[in-house]
Amino acid sequence: MHRSSWYYRSKKNDQPVIEKLQTYAEAYPTRGFDDYYGKIRNEGLKWNRKRVLRVYRLLSLKHRRRHKRRVPDRVKQPLQVPETINYSWNGPP
């Protein structure tokens, strides 16, 4: 490995991304990454999605995905048969 790559220090400054994500996290705590990134793009900021996602994960802002709640099993009953012809469920017509 070359010496210059071994001692290389990244010059990235993610401070504006960190500040923007923290303000969105305070204002919209129940939203996720896609909403935050959409708001960033709507403001006209051209930050790379991978960069914003990396900072989002570093800040531990990720939320668990919500799953559908299971509907409890119902008690199965046989269908009711009308007593006579033209007899509605609510009573005689």
* Band (56; pLDDT cuts 50, 70, 90): very high
Residues 22-49 have pLDDT tens digits of 999 999 988 889 999 999 999 999 999 9
Q: Which residues contact residue 35 at a Cβ distance below 8 angstroms, ignoring those fewer than 6 apart? A: 24, 28
The DSSP secondary-structure symbol of 90 reads: T
Task: Report the share of the chain in percent with pLDDT over 70.
Answer: 91
- Is the predicted pLDDT of residue 65 greater than 70, yes or no? no
Would you state the pLDDT for residue 45?
93
Mean pLDDT, range 51-56, rounded to an integer: 94
Q: What are the boundaries of each domain within the chain?
A: 12-58
Mean pLDDT, range 40-65, rounded to an integer: 90
